[in-house]
Amino acid sequence: TSSSWGSGGKLAVAFSELMASVANAQERGALVHAPRAFVRVFTEVMHEFAGWAQQDAQEFLSVFLSGLSDDVNRAKDKPYVELPDAEGRPDVAVARETWAAHCRRERSAVAALFSGQLKSVLRCAVCGREAATFDPFMSLQVPLP
């Protein structure tokens, strides 16, 4: 890949090879596949997953998608974009502006498929004034009842 972010394409290549290996195993009728090469590359790139410590599946997915997105990101640079305050503008306009800034920095198929935007509202307990922010996310943790 040509991205200057992430692992320089190592994670993307390892994932592609894993998918090809799984497809080949299925064609041969294998029911099990050991992803040793992928795990080796993944733990090289994401050091916090090295060793035998137990990791959470949600944490793995979040780190993996972020790393894969960085590897295939087509953005040449990721300039910081300071967004103006909402100042009474409609939420839709502010959300679009925030999303456009995110999309200038994150130009990958992974980001296009797995990114979303979360609206957070902060309300002053004294005066009742509300301030809304719109933040991009790759994964969203939802509490289960």
If the chain, 145 residues long, is cut into consecutive pieces of 10 residues, what is the mean pLDDT of each piece? 70 95 91 90 89 82 92 85 83 93 91 93 91 89 83
Residue at token pair 């997105």 = 69
Q: How distant is the alpha carbon of residue 142 from its chain centre?
A: 16
pLDDT at 127: 94
Burial class (CB in 10 A: 0-12, 13-18, 19+), 126: exposed
pLDDT at 5: 63
pLDDT at 115: 93
- Answer positive or negative: Cα dihedral of 73, 57, 138, 26: positive
Q: Which residues lie across from 132 on neighbouring strands? A: 121
- Give the Å distances, CA to CA, from 2 to 38, 41, 65, 120: 20, 18, 18, 35
Burial class (CB in 10 A: 0-12, 13-18, 19+), 112: exposed
